[in-house]
C-alpha cells in the first residue's frame, strides 16, 4: 500500500487537516528541486497529494485505473520536471510506466511534457540555447480547458536545455513562445496535458490557476471522487511534562565595551552571534559537543519544556540552547554517497554545544539569561555565575590588533585554470539538461604560524566588511570567523524564513560608479535568473515543512548594499507545521540552495565530482537553536576557518548558461576582498607549475628565472606557439640552463596542460640546473594605444639583448622609471625596442623594422609577413631618435598584438586608422587552436 504523504521523506500533513472528499493526486518527483512548489499549488487548490520519487516501487497498472474503487488509486497524476533527458530510462524512472498505464488525467511539466512527446514517437533534442530561471512570454495557440481564465499571452519562467522538436501526430500544440518553440501540448485521445515552462515558479503568471484548471479537468474525468484515504499521523515529538524556567538579569550595556571584548572576558571559548543588531555570547565551559543532526534532535526531545514567561517583568531577548556550526556535509546522509566529495573535510561536519547561560546585548540593553536549575545548589551556583560574569564584564579589555603576519602566503585550492575547466564542464552539463545551475566553489588557503587570535581577527574582519549575520566560534581547536551577509533559516513565532543571496557587484568610492554597479545588478538578466532559480528552490524546501499554501515570497530580487558589495537578496517565508521540529526544517532545506544550485540532488553529485574536496564548515550554516524551538542560522560565507594550523576561506558563484567563465573568476576575487584586507595580501591570481622531468606539478615559488617567454592564449587558441617554443629553447641552450631533451619534454608537458577556456598570458621559465616552470597568469587588459618615453641605455646595462629573461629585472626597473606606458630604449648605436615590445615604423608607405641588436619578435615576424602579402615594401633599418619624430609607430608583442604609439616623449604621432585595423584583423586571424592532449 502506498502511504499517503505530504513528503517523500514522511513528513506530516497540515495540523488538524480534515478528512473528506478531494481529488487524490499522485506526483512523480523526478528528483527535481521545485516539485514541492507544485505540491503546494495542488494543496492550495484542494487536492490530496502523495509524492513518490521516480525510483520508488509502484504498480501503475493497479493504482492508476480510472474505474478502480481501490483505496490505493489516484484521480490524477503530475509528472514533475527534473534533470536529464526522457531518452535516458534512469532519468524518467517510473514516469515512463505511469504514462504507459495511466487511465486518469496526467499533467507533465518540463521533463514530464518531454516524456509524453517522446513515448508517443515525438523527438526531443537540444533547445536553441539552455534557458534556466529566465522569463519569457508565451502565446496560447489553441483553445484548451487548461487555459480557462488565463490570458492568451502571459509571462512564464523556463528551465530547460532540451525541448520537443518534433510533435507526434497524436498530440497538438496549444502554446508557443515568440520564437515558435513548443510550450504546451495536449494529447488528442488521452487525457494528457503538458507544459514546457514551470507554472509553479514564482515568476510565472497564472501558475496556480493552471494547476486548478488541471484539477477541474481531472474532476470531470472522475465520476465518483473516492475521497481521502484514512491515514495515520506520525507520532508527535512530545516533550516531557517537566518544565524549566528562565532567569533574566537585565542592566544597561557597558559603554565602550564591544561584544567581542565580553566574549574574551568570559573565557574566549564558545560562540558569539551578532545577528541583525542582537549579540548573543554563549560561553563554552567544556563537556561534549554535538556532532550529528540526530544528536541535536535527541537532545531537544529529551530537554524539559522551557517556560518563557516574563521573569521579574522582563522578557528574555534570547534563550539558551544549542550553538555552533553545521558543515556543508552535515546532511549528506540524506543525499547518498554520490554527493560525497573524494577528500573529506579536516574537521567535524557538525560541531554544536549546549549553553545553559548566555549574555544578550541589544539596543543598549544587556541581559544575563540562564536556565534555572531545579535544586537549591543549582540556584546558588546561578547567583555566583551572575556575580562572576558582572565582575568579568566590568574588567573587560579591548581586543588587540590582529597580526596578519601570522597568516602565511595565500593560494587558491583550485587554480583559475582548473576553475575555468570546471565551468566549461558545467556548461556542457547544462546543455545536456543535467542541471540548471551549479554553485561552484574553491577555497583560499594558508598555513598559520603560531597562535591564531580569532577574536582579534573577528573584530578586524567585521570592521572591514560589516554584515548583518556575523559570528565567532572558538571550539576545541576550531576557529570560525564569519561576517556573513546571508540568513539561511530562521524560525520565530511559528514562521520559518530564508533570505538567499545570488548576485554580487563590488562597491566603488566614486558615487556615480557605485550607483551604476547597483543599477546593473538590479537589471541584469543573468543575476535575476540565478536568484529566481534559488527562490524557487527555497520555496520547494520550505513547502516540505510548512502549512499547505502558506509559503510566500516576501521580497523578490531586491538589491541590498553592504560595506564591500551590492547583493541581490530575496526573502521567502511560510507558516511552520506545528508538528515539525527545527531539525526537520534543517533536513528539508540543508545545505542551502544558494550554495548548491538546482536541482539540488543531481547538482550536489556534480559538485562532488568537480570540486573533489569536502567543503567542511564553508557553505554550511552557523547559528543557534534555542530551547523553545526558535532558530537562527547564517549561511557560512565570507568566513575564515582555522583548523590544525591551516586557514581556509571559501568563495564561489552560481554557474548558469549565461555565465562568463572569466567574469566568474573575477567574482571570486571580488568575494575574497574581506580576507585579503584582513591578511594584507593580494589575490593569488597566478598558478605556478614545476616540471619534474615527466609532468607538471604545483609549486609555491621560485628564484627569479634566467629565461622566460610569454604568449597570449584565448580559449585554447594561440598565435605562433611553435615560434615561442623555439625562442625559449634557443635561449635555454645559449645560457645552458637545461639540456635539449629536457626542454622538449617540458614544452610537450606545457602543451598538454594549456587551458582550453579563458584568456591567459602563460610564461615559460627556466633556471639553471634544468629547473623549468610554467606560470599561468590571467591575460592583462590589452592596450590599444601606447605612450613612450625615451631612455638612454648605459654601456653594458643590457647584457643579453637577443635573449629573453636574463635582463628581465633591469628592464622592469627601467620601465618603472618613466611616467608613460613603456620606455623606448636608445643607445649610441640607435633605437632598439621598448622594455616589453618590438618597434615598427611606417615611412612613405614602407614598413620598417629596427636593425639594431635586439630580441627577435614572434609578433613582428607575423606582421612583416602580412605586409609582404598585402604588397607593402618591408625593410630593416637603423634609426636614431630624431628620425622617429612625426612617424607612425607601432609597438608589437604577443599580449597587445599591435598597439599604435599615440605619444613619443609627449609629442603626438600620426596613425592610418584604416591600415591599422586591417593589420589587426589579419593578425587576429592567425590564432590557431592547440592540437594535442589537453
| Nearest-angstrom CA–CA distance, 920 and 926 | 10
- Report how far apart, in Å, the C-alpha atoms of 817 and of each of 743, 813, 814, 824 are: 35, 7, 5, 12
| Nearest-angstrom CA–CA distance, 887 and 909 | 6
Q: What per-residue confidence (pLDDT) applies to 294?
A: 80
25: buried, middle or exposed (CB in 10 Å: 19+, 13-18, 0-12)? buried
Q: How far is C-alpha 80 from the chain's CA centre?
A: 26
Q: Does residue 230 have a pLDDT over 60?
A: no
Q: What per-residue confidence (pLDDT) applies to 344?
A: 67
Q: What per-residue confidence (pLDDT) applies to 361?
A: 96
Q: What per-residue confidence (pLDDT) applies to 407?
A: 94
Q: What per-residue confidence (pLDDT) applies to 50?
A: 92
Does 198 qualify as catalytic in the annotation?
Answer: yes
| Nearest-angstrom CA–CA distance, 569 and 725 | 49
Q: What per-residue confidence (pLDDT) applies to 376?
A: 64
State the pairing for strand pair 192-195/106-109.
parallel
Q: Does residue 180 have a pLDDT over 90?
A: yes
What the block records as the C-alpha cell of 133 is 530561471
Residue 662: phi and psi, rounded to 5, are -65, -40
Q: Answer with the residue of higher pLDDT: 891 or 294.
A: 891
Q: What per-residue confidence (pLDDT) applies to 116?
A: 97
Q: Which of 23, 202, 213 is nearest to 104 (CA)?
A: 23
Q: Please state the rounded mean pLDDT for residues 395-415.
A: 92
790: buried, middle or exposed (CB in 10 Å: 19+, 13-18, 0-12)? middle
Average pLDDT taken over every residue of the chain: 89
Residue 759: phi and psi, rounded to 5, are -105, 125
Radius of gyration of the chain (CA): 33
What the block records as the C-alpha cell of 159 is 528551465
Q: What per-residue confidence (pLDDT) applies to 14?
A: 40
DSSP conformation letters of 456-500: HHHHHHHHHS--TEEEEEEETTEEEEEEE--EEEEEETTEEEEE-
Q: What per-residue confidence (pLDDT) applies to 927?
A: 87
Q: Please state the rounded mean pLDDT for residues 344-348.
A: 69
Task: Note whether 368 and 248 are within 8 A (CB).
Answer: yes
Instruction: Assign 365 a pLDDT band (cuts: 50, 70, 90).
Output: very high
Task: Note whether 396 and 264 are within 8 A (CB).
Answer: yes
Q: What per-residue confidence (pLDDT) applies to 30?
A: 94
Min mean pLDDT across 56-60, 175-179, 689-693, 842-846 is at: 56-60
Helix axis angle, 525-543 to 582-589, nearest 10°: 140
Task: Note whether 244 and 305 are within 8 A (CB).
Answer: yes
Q: Which of 84, 277, 501, 176 is nearest to 95 (CA)?
A: 84
| Nearest-angstrom CA–CA distance, 15 and 578 | 7
Min mean pLDDT across 276-285, 308-317, 403-412 is at: 308-317
Q: Please state the rounded mean pLDDT for residues 433-439.
A: 94
Q: How far is C-alpha 893 from the chain's CA centre?
A: 36
Q: Does residue 440 have a pLDDT over 70?
A: yes
Q: What per-residue confidence (pLDDT) applies to 375?
A: 63
Q: Does residue 11 have a pLDDT over 50?
A: no
The dihedral built from the CA positions of residue 624, 625, 631 and 635, taken in this order, carries a sign that is: positive
Q: Please state the rounded mean pLDDT for residues 259-278.
A: 96
Q: Does residue 339 have a pLDDT over 70?
A: no
Q: What per-residue confidence (pLDDT) applies to 703?
A: 86
Catalytic option among 132, 160, 187, 198? 198
Give the chain's domains with CATH numbers.
24-221 (3.40.50.880), 244-394 (no CATH), 687-776 (3.30.470.10), 785-929 (3.20.10.10)
| Nearest-angstrom CA–CA distance, 426 and 430 | 6
Q: Does residue 120 have a pLDDT over 90?
A: yes
Q: Which of 839, 805, 809 is nearest to 822 (CA)?
A: 839
Q: What per-residue confidence (pLDDT) applies to 506?
A: 84
Task: Note whether 363 and 310 are within 8 A (CB).
Answer: no
Q: Answer with the residue of higher pLDDT: 73 or 912.
A: 912
- Per the listing, cell 614545476 goes with 690
Residue 580: DSSP 8-state: -
Q: What per-residue confidence (pLDDT) applies to 232?
A: 27
What the block records as the C-alpha cell of 44 is 492550495
| Nearest-angstrom CA–CA distance, 87 and 119 | 9
Q: Does residue 430 have a pLDDT over 90?
A: yes
Helix axis angle, 35-44 to 207-221, nearest 10°: 70
**CB half-sphere exposure, 605, CA atoms < 13 A:** 13
Task: Note whether 571 and 237 are within 8 A (CB).
Answer: no
CB atoms within 10 A of CB 523: 10
DSSP conformation letters of 60-79: HHHHT-TT---TT--SEEEE
Q: Does residue 923 have a pLDDT over 90?
A: yes
Residue 290: DSSP 8-state: B
| Nearest-angstrom CA–CA distance, 911 and 901 | 8
Q: What per-residue confidence (pLDDT) applies to 231?
A: 30
Exposure string for 695-730, b = 16+ CB within 10 A, e = fewer: ebeebeeeeebbbbbbbbbebbebbbbebbbebbbb
Catalytic option among 45, 48, 110, 833? 110
Q: What per-residue confidence (pLDDT) applies to 241?
A: 32
Helix (H, G, I), strand (E, B) or coil at 438: strand
Q: How far is C-alpha 302 from the chain's CA centre?
A: 38
Q: Please state the rounded mean pLDDT for residues 887-897.
A: 97
What the block records as the C-alpha cell of 756 is 582550453
Residues sharing a CB contact under 8 Å with residue 196, sequence separation 6 or more, in sequence order? 110, 113, 114, 158, 160, 163, 164, 181, 182, 183, 184
Q: What per-residue confidence (pLDDT) applies to 532?
A: 93
Q: Does residue 588 have a pLDDT over 80?
A: yes
Q: How far is C-alpha 315 from the chain's CA centre?
A: 40
Give, in degrees to the nearest 5, the angle at Cα 899 between 895 and 904.
125
At 535-580, the pLDDT tens digits run 999 999 999 999 999 999 999 999 999 877 899 999 999 999 999 9
End-to-end Cα spacing for the chain? 54
Q: Answer with the residue of higher pLDDT: 858 or 308.
A: 858
At 77-88, the pLDDT tens digits run 999 999 999 999
Q: What per-residue confidence (pLDDT) applies to 310?
A: 53
Q: Does residue 811 have a pLDDT over 60?
A: yes
Q: What per-residue confidence (pLDDT) applies to 6?
A: 37
Task: Note whether 228 and 180 are within 8 A (CB).
Answer: no
Catalytic option among 48, 120, 135, 200? 200
The dihedral built from the CA positions of residue 243, 249, 250 and 256, taken in this order, carries a sign that is: negative
At 772-784, the pLDDT tens digits run 999 999 899 899 9
Min mean pLDDT across 91-95, 535-539, 698-702 is at: 698-702
Residue 217: DSSP 8-state: H
Please report, to the nearest 10 degrees, the dihedral formed by the alpha carbons of residues 909, 912, 916, 918 taken in order: 180
Residues sharing a CB contact under 8 Å with residue 316, sequence separation 6 or more, in sequence order? 246, 248, 308, 360, 367, 369
| Nearest-angstrom CA–CA distance, 710 and 721 | 10
Extract the runs of DSSP E, i.e. beta strands, from 578-686.
597-598, 621-626, 631-635, 639-643, 646-655
Instruction: Assign 378 a pLDDT band (cuts: 50, 70, 90).
Output: low
Give, in degrees to the nearest 5, the angle at Cα 702 between 699 and 703.
175
Task: Note whether 627 and 303 are within 8 A (CB).
Answer: yes
Instruction: Assign 234 a pLDDT band (cuts: 50, 70, 90).
Output: very low
Instruction: Assign 931 a pLDDT band (cuts: 50, 70, 90).
Output: low
Q: Does residue 246 have a pLDDT over 80?
A: yes
- Report how far apart, in Å, the C-alpha atoms of 71 and of each of 62, 68, 230, 497 are: 11, 9, 9, 37
What percentage of the chain carries pLDDT values higher than 70?
A: 90
Does 800 qualify as catalytic in the annotation?
Answer: no
At 822-869, the pLDDT tens digits run 999 999 999 999 999 999 999 989 999 999 999 999 999 999 999 999
Residue 423: phi and psi, rounded to 5, are -60, -40
Amino acid at each position: 500500500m502506498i502511504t499517503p504523504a505530504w513528503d517523500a521523506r514522511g513528513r506530516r500533513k497540515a495540523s488538524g487537516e480534515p478528512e473528506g472528499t478531494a481529488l487524490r493526486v499522485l506526483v512523480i518527483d523526478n528528483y527535481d528541486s521545485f516539485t514541492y512548489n507544485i505540491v503546494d499549488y495542488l494543496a492550495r487548490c484542494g487536492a490530496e497529494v502523495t509524492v513518490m520519487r521516480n525510483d520508488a516501487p509502484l504498480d501503475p497498472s493497479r493504482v492508476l485505473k480510472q474505474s478502480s474503487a481501490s483505496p490505493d488509486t489516484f484521480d490524477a497524476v503530475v509528472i514533475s520536471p527534473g534533470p536529464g533527458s526522457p531518452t535516458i530510462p534512469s532519468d524518467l524512472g517510473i514516469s515512463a510506466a505511469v504514462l504507459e498505464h495511466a487511465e486518469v488525467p496526467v499533467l507533465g511539466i518540463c521533463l514530464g511534457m518531454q516524456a509524453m512527446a517522446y513515448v508517443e514517437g515525438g523527438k526531443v533534442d537540444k533547445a536553441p540555447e539552455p534557458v534556466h530561471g529566465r522569463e519569457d512570454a508565451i502565446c496560447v495557440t489553441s483553445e484548451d480547458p487548461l487555459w480557462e481564465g488565463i490570458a492568451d499571452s502571459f509571462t512564464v519562467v523556463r528551465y530547460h536545455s532540451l525541448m520537443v522538436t518534433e510533435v507526434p501526430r497524436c498530440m497538438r500544440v496549444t502554446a508557443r513562445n515568440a520564437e515558435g518553440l513548443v510550450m504546451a501540448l495536449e494529447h488528442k485521445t488521452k487525457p494528457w496535458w503538458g507544459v514546457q515552462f514551470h507554472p509553479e515558479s514564482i515568476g510565472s503568471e497564472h501558475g496556480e490557476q493552471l494547476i486548478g484548471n488541471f484539477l477541474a479537468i481531472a474532476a470531470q474525468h472522475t465520476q465518483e471522487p473516492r475521497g481521502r484515504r484514512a491515514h495515520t499521523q506520525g507520532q508527535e515529538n512530545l516533550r516531557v511534562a517537566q518544565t524549566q524556567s528562565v532567569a533574566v538579569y537585565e542592566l544597561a550595556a557597558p559603554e565602550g565595551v564591544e561584544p567581542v571584548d565580553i566574549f574574551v572576558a568570559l573565557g574566549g571559548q564558545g560562540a558569539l552571534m551578532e545577528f541583525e543588531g542582537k549579540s548573543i555570547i554563549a560561553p563554552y565551559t567544556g563537556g561534549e559537543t554535538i556532532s550529528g543532526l540526530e544528536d541535536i534532535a535527541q537532545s531537544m526531545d529529551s530537554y524539559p519544556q522551557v517556560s518563557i514567561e516574563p521573569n521579574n517583568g522582563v522578557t528574555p531577548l534570547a534563550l539558551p540552547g544549542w550553538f555552533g556550526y553545521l558543515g556543508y556535509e552535515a546532511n549528506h546522509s540524506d543525499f547518498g554517497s554520490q554527493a560525497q566529495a573524494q577528500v573529506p573535510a579536516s574537521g567535524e561536519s557538525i560541531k554544536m554545544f549546549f549553553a545553559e547561560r548566555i549574555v544578550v546585548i541589544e539596543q543598549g540593553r544587556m541581559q544575563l539569561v540562564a536556565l534555572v536549575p531545579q535544586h537549591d545548589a543549582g540556584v546558588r551556583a546561578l547567583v555566583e555565575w551572575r556575580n562572576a560574569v558582572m565582575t568579568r564584564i566590568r574588567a573587560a579589555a579591548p581586543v588587540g590588533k590582529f597580526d596578519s603576519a601570522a597568516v602565511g602566503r595565500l593560494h587558491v585550492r583550485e587554480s583559475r585554470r582548473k576553475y575555468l575547466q570546471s565551468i566549461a564542464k558545467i556548461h556542457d552539463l547544462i546543455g545536456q539538461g543535467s542541471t540548471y545551475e551549479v554553485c561552484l566553489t574553491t577555497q583560499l588557503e594558508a598555513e598559520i604560524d603560531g597562535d591564531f587570535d580569532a577574536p582579534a581577527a573577528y573584530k578586524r574582519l567585521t570592521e572591514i566588511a560589516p554584515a548583518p549575520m556575523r559570528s565567532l566560534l572558538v571550539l576545541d581547536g576550531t576557529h570560525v570567523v564569519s561576517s556573513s551577509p546571508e540568513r539561511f533559516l530562521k524560525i520565530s513565532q511559528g514562521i520559518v524564513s530564508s533570505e538567499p543571496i545570488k548576485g554580487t557587484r563590488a562597491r566603488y568610492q566614486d558615487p556615480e560608479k557605485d550607483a551604476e554597479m547597483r543599477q546593473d545588478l538590479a537589471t541584469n538578466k543573468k543575476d535575476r535568473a540565478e536568484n529566481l532559480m534559488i527562490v524557487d528552490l527555497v520555496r520547494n524546501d520550505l513547502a516540505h515543512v510548512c502549512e499547505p499554501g502558506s509559503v510566500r515570497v516576501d521580497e523578490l530580487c531586491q538589491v541590498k548594499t553592504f560595506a564591500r558589495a551590492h547583493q541581490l537578496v530575496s526573502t521567502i517565508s511560510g507558516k511552520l507545521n506545528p508538528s515539525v521540529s527545527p531539525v526537520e526544517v534543517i533536513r528539508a532545506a540543508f545545505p542551502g540552495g544558494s550554495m548548491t544550485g538546482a536541482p539540488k540532488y543531481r547538482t550536489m553529485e556534480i559538485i562532488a565530482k568537480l570540486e573533489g574536496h569536502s567543503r567542511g564548515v564553508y557553505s554550511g550554516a552557523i547559528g543557534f537553536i534555542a530551547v523553545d524551538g526558535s532558530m537562527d542560522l547564517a549561511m557560512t560565507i565570507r568566513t575564515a576557518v582555522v583548523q590544525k594550523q591551516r586557514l581556509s576561506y571559501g568563495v564561489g558563484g552560481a554557474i548558469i548558461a549565461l555565465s562568463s567563465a572569466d567574469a566568474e573568476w573575477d567574482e571570486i576575487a571580488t568575494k575574497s576582498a574581506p580576507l585579503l584586507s584582513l591578511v594584507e595580501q593580494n589575490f593569488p591570481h597566478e598558478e605556478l607549475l614545476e616540471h619534474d622531468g615527466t609532468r607538471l606539478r604545483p609549486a609555491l615559488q621560485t628564484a627569479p628565472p634566467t629565461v622566460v617567454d610569454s604568449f597570449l592564449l584565448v580559449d585554447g587558441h594561440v598565435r605562433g606557439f611553435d615560434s615561442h617554443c623555439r625562442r625559449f629553447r634557443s635561449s635555454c641552450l645559449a645560457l645552458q640552463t637545461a639540456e635539449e631533451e629536457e626542454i622538449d619534454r617540458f614544452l610537450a608537458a606545457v602543451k598538454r596542460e594549456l587551458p582550453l577556456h579563458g584568456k591567459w598570458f602563460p610564461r615559460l621559465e627556466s633556471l639553471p640546473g634544468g629547473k623549468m616552470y610554467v606560470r599561468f597568469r590571467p591575460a592583462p587588459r590589452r592596450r590599444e594605444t601606447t605612450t613612450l618615453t625615451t631612455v638612454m641605455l648605459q654601456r653594458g646595462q643590457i647584457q643579453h639583448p637577443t635573449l629573453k629573461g636574463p635582463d628581465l629585472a633591469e628592464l622592469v626597473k627601467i620601465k618603472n622609471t618613466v611616467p608613460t606606458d613603456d620606455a623606448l630604449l636608445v643607445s649610441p648605436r640607435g633605437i632598439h625596442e621598448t622594455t616589453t615590445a618590438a618597434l615598427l615604423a611606417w615611412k612613405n608607405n614602407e614598413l620598417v623594422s629596427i636593425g639594431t641588436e635586439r630580441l627577435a619578435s614572434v609578433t613582428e615576424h607575423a606582421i612583416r609577413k602580412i605586409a609582404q602579402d598585402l604588397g607593402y615594401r618591408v625593410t630593416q633599418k637603423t634609426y636614431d631618435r630624431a628620425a622617429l619624430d612625426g612617424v607612425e609607430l607601432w609597438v608589437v608583442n604577443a599580449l597587445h598584438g599591435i598597439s599604435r604609439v599615440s605619444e613619443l616623449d609627449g609629442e603626438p604621432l600620426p596613425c592610418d586608422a584604416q591600415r591599422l585595423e586591417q593589420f589587426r584583423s589579419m593578425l587576429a586571424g592567425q590564432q590557431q587552436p592547440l592540437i594535442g592532449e589537453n
